[in-house]
Amino acid sequence: MFGKSKINFWLAAVMFADLLFLALIGLIMHYVLPPGSGLHQGLGSGEAKTFLMLGRHDWGAAHWVLAVIFLALLLVHLLLHWRWIWCQYRAIFRKNPEESSCEQ
């Protein structure tokens, strides 16, 4: 149904989108909802700061989930390219320079 190149394309596209959202949420947490923007600012400071109706901890939870998803996709990516990785390793660290590497 799907060839290896199509799987690699969609995997890379999903990883790229995941990384963009991960960076966007990181920027939101750093600049829009910095540490201390929650309820515990001291002396009854009022309501916690939110962005799109989510507080800093909600954005942090989404950031964590996207990071775990990215790591899982990275593992799949490495598994799909394992033969190439191994061939490159052998080509770089082989003892006999005349020895042929993984020719296909």
Indicate the pTM of the whole model.
0.79
pLDDT per position as a tens digit, 56-87? 889 999 999 999 999 999 999 999 999 999 99
Residue 37's identity, in one-letter code, is S
Q: Give the pLDDT confidence score for residue 43 in this predicted structure.
A: 46
| Residue 7 burial class via C-beta count within 10 angstroms: exposed 0-12, middle 13-18, buried 19 and up | middle
Cα–Cα dist 19/69, whole Å:
10
